Amino acid sequence: MSDRRYSEKRDFMRMQIDSTAQITRSSGESMSVRCSNLSSSGVLLEASEAIPDGEQLIITIPSERPEFPDFCAEARVVRSHEQAEDRFSIALTIERIK
């Protein structure tokens, strides 16, 4: 049994990453964001503006290796809150990998 508390256990492991990503909103507006972690079911971003809960996005994380394609998925905002002035933490759930 792991020494992590039960409430901290998740179904999928999260990979800590520090990468730029591009999100495209349903309006067609694109925005550059920072991706801080990724799992098979979700993504955590840092952005310069809030995005409403429930909004659907397309997220693209560029591959650093030419032999691997960029990661591209349809996702939905499940939580967005201000971390610091003009910095927002945005949690996404992945709905479909493209």
pTM of the model: 0.78
Judging by DSSP bridges, how do beta strands 15-25 and 87-97 pair with one another? unpaired
The answer to the question of residue 33 being in a domain is yes
Work out the pLDDT band at 84, boundaries 50, 70, 90: confident
pLDDT at 6: 43
Amino acid code (one letter) for 70? D
Q: Has residue 47 been placed in a domain?
A: yes
Name the band, by pLDDT with cuts 50, 70 and 90, for residue 7. very low
Residue 58: half-sphere exposure toward Cβ, Cα within 13 Å: 11
What pLDDT is stored for residue 38 in this prediction?
82
Q: What are 13-64's pLDDT values in tens digits? A: 666 677 899 999 989 999 999 998 888 789 999 999 999 999 999 999 998 8
The vertex-24 CA angle with 21 and 26, nearest 5°, equals: 155
CATH number, domain containing residue 40: 2.40.10.220
pLDDT of 37 reads 87
- Answer yes or no: is 45 within a domain: yes
In the prediction, which pLDDT does 1 show?
A: 42
Structure tokens at 57: 């996005």
User: In terms of C-beta density within 10 A (0-12 exposed, 13-18 middle, 19 or more buried), how is residue 37 classed?
Assistant: middle
Which residues span the domain enclosing 41?
6-97
In a domain, 41, yes or no: yes
Provide the 10 A C-beta neighbour count for residue 49: 12
pLDDT bin (cut points 50, 70, 90) of residue 98 is confident
Count of domains in the chain? 1
Q: Is residue 1 part of a domain?
A: no
What phi, psi does 30 have (nearest 5°)? -110, 150
**49 belongs to a structural domain:** yes
